[in-house]
Amino acid sequence: MGVNEQSGTNGDLLIELEDVYKIYQMGQEQVKALAGVSVSFAAGSFWAIIGPSGSGKSTMLNILGCLDRVTSGRYTLENNDVSMMNDDAVSELRLRHLGFIFQSFNLIPQLTVQRNIELPLYYLGWDAEESAARAVELARRVGLEERLGHRPMELSGGQMQRVAIARALANDPRILLADEPTGNLDSATGQQILELLRELNEQGKTIIMVTHESDIARLANKRLHMRDGLIETVEED
Amino acid sequence: MRRLKVARNIWLGIENLLLHKLRTFLTMLGVVFGVGSVVAMLSVGEGASKEALQQIDKIGIRNIIISSIKSVEEESQSTTRSYMSIYGLTYDDRLRIEETFSHVLQAVPVKLIRKSARLAERNLELRVVGTTPSWFELLKREMVAGRELLEIDSKNRSGIVVLTEFGARRLLATENTIGQRVRVGGSYYEIVGIVKSEGGMAGNIQMPDEQIDAYIPIEAAKERYGDITTRYTSGSRERELVELHQMIVEVDHMDNVESVAKGIEVMLKRFHKKVDYRISVPLALLRQAEATKRTFNVVLGSIACISLLVGGIGIMNIMLASVTERTREIGIRRAIGAKRRQITGQFLVETVVLSTAGGLIGIGLGLLIPWMITIFAGMPTVVTIKSVILSVGISISIGIVFGLYPAVRAANVDPIIALRHE
């Protein structure tokens, strides 16, 4: 993994996008999902990216999560120039630096809660006992230590999202990326999940959350409004 | 930390396959039958060739058998009244063969004379085999009781006889066979030994002895019966002068058998006006048996290969379906940080586990089928370690070959699209 030292002086600047374009070819037409975005996310902050559908917020999150590549521009994640990396190195980056929380939880249905939580550790090469210990610890942290042997289908939505959060924390990343984390939950449960995210932020995790609800976005310290692939405004508390 | 990784990956693969037990089982069947038929086929081929080898071994792999035969011209002339046909191998042939070829260890002479034997009230047509003690050594005949012919018998032209077990039973049907005196065509012989009967044919070479033989020293045969035999058939008298009916030539090494046989053929052609002899080489028969086995293996092997191919395609088909079904899982794993080759590995391990398990069950089947063939069809079968190892190798290779494409396809799934996949 190539480590870029040029922004090393700016230790708390975790993520930086410089003039990023993401262009999709849709038949004859070119669709600019991101049309020149420059923004940086500092360590320890809690961001919300808000915008209507088609505003480019999901594309933004995919790029931040190293699932998608920029068409042009530069994306730096923890001093690594992601735009220059090959697929293996990008996978490694996801494995070591990022945790994902999805709207639809994305747990693997045939695996137990414990196995789901252990998944990143498996790819990190941890052995079985260490992984199990870590899974128990994380389950306790999200209040699900009783459910380790259950399969996702046996859990409620809120519980599934807690498992997903536990899994996102397994590799102890500095950055958590959440894509509409409360989108499939009722408001009370959603509130609990947001509360959990807030706690995690207070414990030092940098959180970037995509949402289309301004109520939810209000929980974040910083809000990035997007429209038509561009950043409209940036609000800070 | 990573030392148990392989075992763990295999275990995870097994766990995943166990989620769909019926599907896994059905997918495996193709390989089970494919491998089963490979093992069974090889065992039948091996059994057949081993049996052929045993039969040939009884005649002796280093032996050349030369038999006297009546040539075609002789056959037509013999219908003339009181004509004496003279044909076949001579005492001189034997000496020439022993002296000419350095690779020949010995040429054992055999006189075959049909005589009727009589003991008390019993009569039995038998074949008197006049030969030397070496005959027993060359043909590895097992003694049931008593002793073989000895050098001293030859020297003394003793009136002793060794009977076959079968003949002895027909003639005597009692114990205390040894020491009894039997009359064979006018002369009396003391029974000194009983040799085990060796039935019938090996391939298409007639064995040098038949069920009911009486072995006597060749010197005694010469003295008592002479070289001329007379047979009375439907009013006509057939007289034949044959010095030696058969000769068993022992060659020093397997590699020289064929060249010596050629040499003997050339030599006999020079000294015999007519072709009144036939040369049989058991080794040639072995070669032939091996060639047959090869053909057999190729034909059955291709059939087994086709069933393995079908099995492999079945596995590939199911794995492709599985990749589609688990697209979302692949997306999740990729998002978490799995590399492409780890996804490839995961699916490949599953396919290899599937095909290897199928292969192992197939080997079980492949052991069962020959066993049943032996019991119900009476055919000899031999399962060799080699064929079992080959089968394991084949099944692992099937897993790799047919699993690679689905696995690579899984790895190339775009994680963003995969995560949206329902």
Nearest by CB to residue B336, choosing from A62, A120, A125, is A120
Model confidence band, residue B80 (pLDDT cutoffs 50, 70, 90): low
In Å, how far is B54's CA from the nearest CA of chain A? 57
Kindly report, residue by residue over A158-194, the tens digit of the pLDDT: 999 999 999 999 999 999 999 999 999 999 999 999 9
Query: Domain boundaries in chain B?
Result: 5-56+288-420, 70-275
Kindly determine whether residue B337 and residue A123, on different chains, have CB atoms separated by under 8 Å.
yes
What DSSP designation does B176 have? -
Tokens 């280093």 belong to which residue? B62
What DSSP designation does A17 have? E
State which H helix or E strand residue B256 sits in: helix B254-271
Give the domain extent around A223.
45-66+89-236
Gap between the Cα atoms of B422 and B420, Å rounded: 6
Kindly report, residue by residue over B334-369, the tens digit of the pLDDT: 999 999 999 999 999 999 999 999 999 999 999 999
**Residue A231 reports pLDDT greater than 50:** yes
Report if pTM > 0.80.
no
Number of domains in chain A: 1
Tokens 């490979």 belong to which residue? B38
Q: How long, in residues, is chain A?
A: 237
- Cβ atoms within 10 Å, residue B246: 25
Question: Model ipTM?
Answer: 0.92
Q: Is residue A196 part of a domain?
A: yes
CATH number, position A139: 3.40.50.300
Q: Provide the pLDDT for residue B204.
A: 42
Q: Provide the pLDDT for residue B173.
A: 60
Kindly report, residue by residue over A130-149, the tens digit of the pLDDT: 999 999 999 999 999 999 99
Q: Provide the pLDDT for residue A18.
A: 93
Among A7-16, B289-298, B391-400, the least confident range? A7-16
CA A138 to chain centre: 18
Kindly report, residue by residue over A29-80, the tens digit of the pLDDT: 998 999 999 999 999 999 999 998 889 999 999 999 999 999 999 999 988 8
A65 interfacial to chain B (CB closer than 8 Å):
yes
**Residue B202 reports pLDDT greater than 50:** no
A6 three-state secondary structure: coil
Kindly determine whether residue B342 and residue A108, on different chains, have CB atoms separated by under 8 Å.
no
Kindly determine whether residue B337 and residue A62, on different chains, have CB atoms separated by under 8 Å.
no
- Phi/psi at B21 (nearest 5 deg)? -65, -45
- Cβ atoms within 10 Å, residue A212: 15
When the pLDDT of each residue in chain B is averaged and rounded to a whole number, the result is: 84
Gap between the Cα atoms of A234 and A223, Å rounded: 6
B143 or B418, greater pLDDT: B418
Average pLDDT over residues B274-291: 84
Nearest by CB to residue B336, choosing from A68, A94, A126, is A94
Q: Is residue A79 part of a domain?
A: no
Mention every residue, 6+ apart, whose C-beta is less than 8 A from residue B397. none
Gap between the Cα atoms of B48 and B56, Å rounded: 12
In Å, how far is B400's CA from the nearest CA of chain A? 22
CA atoms within 13 A on the CB side of B323: 24
Nearest by CB to residue A119, choosing from B5, B8, B336, is B336
Q: Which two tokens stand for residue B56?
A: 């040939």
- Best mutation site among B322, B336, B344 for testing chain A: the one with the most A CBs within 10 Å? B336
Model confidence band, residue B155 (pLDDT cutoffs 50, 70, 90): confident
